[in-house]
Amino acid sequence: MRNLEDIKGSRVYGRRQGQALSAARQARLDKWLPNIEIPLDGLVPTGPSGHFDSALADHWLEIGFGKGEHLAAQAKSHPDIGVIGCEPFLNGVSGLVDIVDQENLTNVRIFMDDARLLMDSLPDQSIGRAFILFPDPWPKARHHKRRIVSAGNIKVLSRILKDGAELRIGTDHMEYCRWIMAHMLENPDFNWLSDSPENWRNRPDDWPASRYEIKSREQGRISSYLRFIRCQR
Ligand SMILES: C[S@@+](CC[C@H](N)C(=O)[O-])C[C@H]1O[C@@H](n2cnc3c(N)ncnc32)[C@H](O)[C@@H]1O
């Protein structure tokens, strides 16, 4: 396991809050967060089930959910799955909480900090599916060490994902896409789920579009939808 203090000291995300929240949004946060937030000091090694009120069929993880549209859509269409989302950006968390409130979703939990802290707290083989959608590409070479897709984080994902679990990564950044493929193919624990270009050029039906992806498409950029399977141990 990595050192908690090292991760805290090298957090890889940008700003934590943009625009001030409206009174209504703040009220929704105040209503929901006490029940659905996983606090930093609540990272007990009980496994993901310890963060939910009732037993669920499986637990999925989304890293950097932005405003949460994809996460909420997955939670809504899979009410038997507990979906944990990590996002340090307060306005993003507020976006997800708005949908949780509107849809009364009870199977969502939010970790408002660096996903690596939560990932490190999860037991081996405890997550059935993970999503990293349109992670910040950090294009400058000197910033590549901030990329969430890295050999170290892939190793942790390999540890916490169940055998046969899927890891989905979306990106519209060609160079980061090549980086992701190189790092994923280097790790023998994962197989790329693709037998034709259509597999990674087209978003599968059960992969709802995220806010970032919609904007990117409107701006004429092309995305890759990469799916990897955790091999049997
Ligand atoms: C480009 S945005 C994409 C947001 C969303 N996935 C989408 O597709 O709309 C990347 C997101 O990852 C979050 N992020 C960056 N580093 C993170 C980390 N270490 N842990 C959790 N979230 C992180 C950022 O705050 C940001 O919201």
For ligand 1, atom 14, the nearest C-alpha belongs to 64
pLDDT, one tens digit per residue, over 172-181 is 999 999 999 9
Is 136 labeled as catalytic in the residue annotation?
A: yes
Please tell me which residue in 136, 163, 195, 206 is annotated as part of the active site: 136
Tell which wins on pLDDT, 195 or 213. Answer: 213
CA distances from residue 200 to 113, 153, 171, 215 in whole angstroms, order as listed: 30, 22, 10, 19
- What whole-number distance in Å separates Cα of residue 170 and Cα of residue 186? 18
pLDDT band with cut points at 50, 70 and 90 for residue 199: confident
pLDDT for 136 beyond 80: yes
pLDDT for 163 beyond 60: yes
pLDDT for 9 beyond 90: no
Query: What's the pLDDT score for residue 197?
Result: 77
pLDDT, one tens digit per residue, over 88-131 is 999 999 999 999 999 999 999 999 999 999 999 999 999 999 99
pLDDT for 153 beyond 60: yes
Report residues whose beta carbon is within 6 angstroms of any ligand 1 atom: 12-13, 63-66, 86-89, 92, 114-116, 133-136, 148, 210-213
pLDDT for 1 beyond 80: no
Cα of 154 vs centre of ligand 1, distance in Å, is 16
Helices (H), 115-224: 115-121, 151-160, 174-186, 197-201, 211-218
pLDDT band with cut points at 50, 70 and 90 for residue 194: confident
The pTM (predicted TM-score) of the whole model is 0.95
Mutate to test the pocket of ligand 1, among 10, 63, 111 (most ligand atoms within 8 A of CB): 63
Mean pLDDT of 218-223: 97
Query: What's the pLDDT score for residue 18?
Result: 75
Query: What's the pLDDT score for residue 19?
Result: 82
Query: What's the pLDDT score for residue 2?
Result: 64
Residue 15, classified by CB atoms within 10 Å of its CB into exposed (0-12), middle (13-18) or buried (19+), is exposed
Residue-averaged pLDDT of the chain: 93
For ligand 1, atom 16, the nearest C-alpha belongs to 13
For ligand 1, atom 23, the nearest C-alpha belongs to 64
Beta bridge mates, 169: 132, 226
How many domains does the chain contain in total?
1
Q: Which atom of ligand 1 is nearest to the CA of 211?
A: 9
Give the range of the structural domain holding residue 134, as residue numbers without chain letter.
Answer: 4-230
Beta bridge mates, 85: 62, 110
Query: What's the pLDDT score for residue 219?
Result: 98
Please write down the long-range contacts of 43-47, taking CB distance under 8 Å and 24 or more positions apart.
43/117, 43/118, 43/121, 44/121, 45/121, 45/122, 45/123, 47/122, 47/123, 47/126
pLDDT, one tens digit per residue, over 11-52 is 555 557 778 899 999 999 999 999 999 998 888 777 999 999
Q: Which CATH number goes with the domain that contains 10?
A: 3.40.50.150
Query: What's the pLDDT score for residue 198?
Result: 81
Contacts with 211 (C-beta within 8 Å, 6 or more apart), sequence order: 66, 67, 69, 95
